[in-house]
Chains A and B, each alone.
Chain A
Amino acid sequence: MPVALFVSVFLIAACGLIYELIAGTLASYLLGDDVFQFSTIIGCYLFAMGIGSYLSRFLRRGLVTQFISIELMVGLIGGFSSSLLFVAFAYTEAFRLILYAIVILVGTLVGLEIPLLMRILKERFKFSELISQVLTFDYLGALGASLLFPILLVPKLGLVRSALVFGILNAAVAFWSTFLFREQLVRSHTLRAACFVTLGLLGAGTVFANRISSTADNALYADEVIFSRNTHYQHIVLTKWKDDLRLFLNTHLQFSSRDEYRYHEALVHPGLAALPGARRVLVMGGGDGLAIREILKYPSVESITQVELDPEMTRLFSTHPVLSQLNQHALTQPRVHVINDDAFQWLDKNSDFFDFIVADFPDPTNYSIGKLFTTTFYRLAAKHLSAGGLMVIQSTSPLFARQSYWCIVETVRQAGLRAYAYHVYVPSFGEWGYVIASQTPFQTPQQLPSNLRFLSARNVAEMFVFPNDMTPIPAEPNRLNDQILVRYYDREWKEIAR
């Protein structure tokens, strides 16, 4: 009997600590700044436990029933806490509010547990023995949980399932208590039924955890998946580890927040800085708004048209606090017009001219995306360039996919345009390539916006020089009717993967 009781104490304590750790970890994943997150969450949690302890005095009758009900509530709220927080992060702007509300709610309930249990047990044990035993197992449980959490739970189960599993433990303790204290219970059947319902909900949650935050994704990505969604067009995944936020589309890395400035500065400035007085800019693809963030550094630019196929992308990067902070609210600026349409079709039916065009599409991994790298596409895009205008094209890696890269250069030339090839080193990508396409000769800019983190006028010229292992190799142009680029790309990246 006493052993069973103290196992319960051990488990309750472990659960209590786990919810606190989960909240702290999630907050630092999603919001960054771990010291701040952990400090405030531990503080709030302990404070809430204090509230719980204080409130325990107001519970007078039916202590066992009260205890079991509290266990079930902790199990439910704690168990679903990380699922709720992920959903809140992805779909609401009230993440912090919900985070602290959950922390305080769970803390208060956990704060009620031990005082109640001690009062239930006070008739059976001597006070000094009771307090020593309960607190010993309480601290032991905390130790167990704190070791288990980083070693086993986060890597193997992920945050969503860990919380659910410990929710089940809470509910199991409740269920067990209906037997341990059966002589003190009047309506044990009702309580047991409630236990079953809670266990069922948490069990179902564990089974369907994949759909809440795809633990399958967790196995695929190195970092914690904080957002995962299948849209009509693609599978969007965001991962976060400390200050590194990464976007994946159909499992392909699009950017890492640590070094995306290198990629986006190199994408925009060599071309746009060479066009003093550029007024109208078109961005195709790149619905993350990061290229636009760079374009907005030019006061001469009056209007930026963003054509992005997936409305979910532009919605996410317009409204989400963390993501819109990353692009400095680029997508909601008055100069920016977001159009959700297929770039090829939009170009075909639209007749506007632009001084600068950015083609920032995902790599040509399949025949659908490959259409956006064809002679026909570049010819069509060139019809939208104003006199002296420039187009810059994201062109995969000239190191890992050398023939693919030079195929894009050749395609631009076959479309009747001049092609200027350059590359940059982006740590999370490796060597990356771009092509500037134009009808008139292009000269590298002498002056760049002053507030850049990476580029300076001096190293722009260097980007147009290719080391020996990336120099041009023969490649056929990519045409709609053979799409040789998709084959080059497939072969070259397979060789890298080997």
Chain B
Amino acid sequence: MGELLRANTLTHLTYFRRSRLLLAFGLVFLLLASLGLLPAIFANSRVASFDSLKEIFATFNQFLIFFAAGLGLLVMSSHLSNRSLKMVFTKPCRPPLWLASAFLASALVSLLLTGFVLFFAVALSFLWHVPVRAGLVFISLDTFLACMAMSAYFIFLATFLHPAIAVAFALIFNASLFYYLRILVHNALHAAGKGVVLKSLEHVFQVLYLMVPMSRAFESKTGSIYSSFRVPAHDWIYLLYSLGYTLAISGLFYLLALFFLQRKRFT
């Protein structure tokens, strides 16, 4: 089993390394981010430098989450569209293992890129004489967890949707939409007094809201860390909550993706 996991994970990593689509996405983003960096070079105060660093760090972390979604989407859709999985599943390699290797490879790439972004942020802090704060590590770890959840979500979507439709689906049916719908139903329920349908709908929207991965699951609690890069000792616990949320979401999407994958016809 170890050898199978190793072989599949290495093959996925090779895929990521050679995917021109991912490379193009990365390069275009870097180009745009570099243009955004230009004003920061001319910053002449520590406060301005800190604001620039915050902006750059946030932009790169947002990019990482998009990139992780791309990793998940492409690793699944490319193998399904070129029908190469029949070569895997006619060997003693079960779908759960292959899927786990896809999750693992996406997580490894996300971890590597998060490390790069963190290193870059620390380097910029030194360069601009901005104090290096623990918040950078906190945000990086939080971003990595969000990347894992997002990649799991897109792996799941790609098992039954065309990649373009999967992207559109994710953009339309996002957490904000379900939150808004839940509030709407809640208000309607409040006005009507009672209603089984409305009550059920509220629960459905609540579940969907929780199911759709969020980039910052505990935003209301960790907002100050993102703005000041300072982490009060008691706030590290939110990282643990994030980990729990990510593991739950990833586990759910792993099982759902497996369900769809095993019902596919590999011809």
A binds B: no
